[in-house]
A and B are shown apart, each in its own frame.
Chain A
Amino acid sequence: MTHATATVDLMRPPFPAEPGAGVYSNKLGMWVFLASDVMFFTALIGTYIILRFGVSEPWAKPNAVLNVPLTAFNTFLLICSSVSMVKAFAAISQGDQRGLRLWLLLTILAGASFVSVQVVEYIKLVGHGFTPAGYREGSLLAEHAVSDAVKYGAATSGLYGSTFFTMTGFHGFHVTCGVISMTYLYLTKVLPGKYSRQDYRGIETIGLYWHFVDLVWIILFTIVYLI
């Protein structure tokens, strides 16, 4: 494999480094942004945990309302996109333009598919009566909640709906921003061949963002869909 012979020097390409951090400014800036994004998502997840375990009434079972197999497939898609992103990085760090084009295109397609599946999931959930305000009156879910209040968490559906759509919505927004950014890079830098073995800062920087989005989803999937 071509990347098997690469070394840690790839992590420190010959670009002017910021004193102290030892990395170039784009990369340092992305890491600082990601650190702030950690706080942002922790606030959302922390709020969810506090609300969920702070209420005395039962919370809806995850598989009662949500389509877990569909989201598991979506998780798989995002993990695949993370692999293709890192393969794009490995390709250009070896000067492989064709590999960069292929792997980055696959990443964009997988990211766009993730957002599309999430949109379909939202449409179906709202169609079944699960809204950010809880179970819609007269909907199928509201009827189920009346007959089985424990399984469907009838009393806490408003909290469930608002936290679910806020967390997954903000994550979906991050994925959308990533797909738009990667498409812009692909059209303006990758296709014209502006990246090279000597300069691939844009790919490494957007790659960090994309892997972080994957990392956040790994946590969200477990907390929101499985627990």
Chain B
Amino acid sequence: METTHKLPNYMLIWLYLFILTGAEVLFAFEMPISQVVKILCLLFLAIVKALLVALFFMHLKFERWRLRVVFMIPLPLAAILVLAVITEKLW
């Protein structure tokens, strides 16, 4: 039996994205915090924003797992590629 869900409130997602973008700019230039903490916070905010777009605007939240996998498979491969080159000096 097909389950049914309400589609997301797109304007609310837009508001979240707007607020998060403002928070990013504040974190980057106004917050007196260390560079490492700043980078981690900015990356976290960027990932949250990207997830909001993928899950609600691209409707991945409502798609079947097999389609989500198509999009997610390159991500660990790309991470391995970058990490392998970054850690090359250690080998």
To the question of whether A and B form a pair in one complex, the answer is yes
A interface residues, Cβ below 8 angstroms from B: 1, 3-11, 20-23, 28, 31-32, 34-36, 38-39, 42-43, 46, 49-50, 53-54, 62-63, 68, 72, 75-76, 79-80, 82-83, 85-87, 90, 207-208, 211-212, 214-215, 218-219, 221-223, 226-227
With both chains docked as a complex, state the minimum distance between the C-beta of A124 and any C-beta of chain B, in angstroms: 19
A80 and B14 in contact, given A8-B4, A42-B82, A211-B53 (Cβ under 8 angstroms): yes
A82 to B53, CA, bound (A): 8
With both chains docked as a complex, state the minimum distance between the C-beta of B25 and any C-beta of chain A, in angstroms: 5
Chain B hits for A53, CB < 8 A: 86
29 pairs of residues in contact across A and B, judged by CB atoms under 8 Å: A7-B6, A8-B4, A10-B7, A23-B63, A23-B67, A31-B67, A35-B70, A35-B74, A38-B71, A38-B75, A39-B74, A39-B78, A46-B85, A50-B86, A54-B86, A63-B29, A68-B28, A79-B17, A83-B10, A83-B11, A86-B10, A86-B56, A87-B10, A90-B10, A207-B58, A214-B53, A218-B49, A218-B53, A219-B46
A3 to B9, CA, bound (A): 8
B interface residues, Cβ below 8 angstroms from A: 2-7, 9-11, 13-14, 17-18, 21, 24-25, 27-29, 38-39, 42-43, 45-46, 49-50, 53-54, 56-59, 62-64, 66-67, 70-71, 73-75, 77-78, 81-82, 85-86
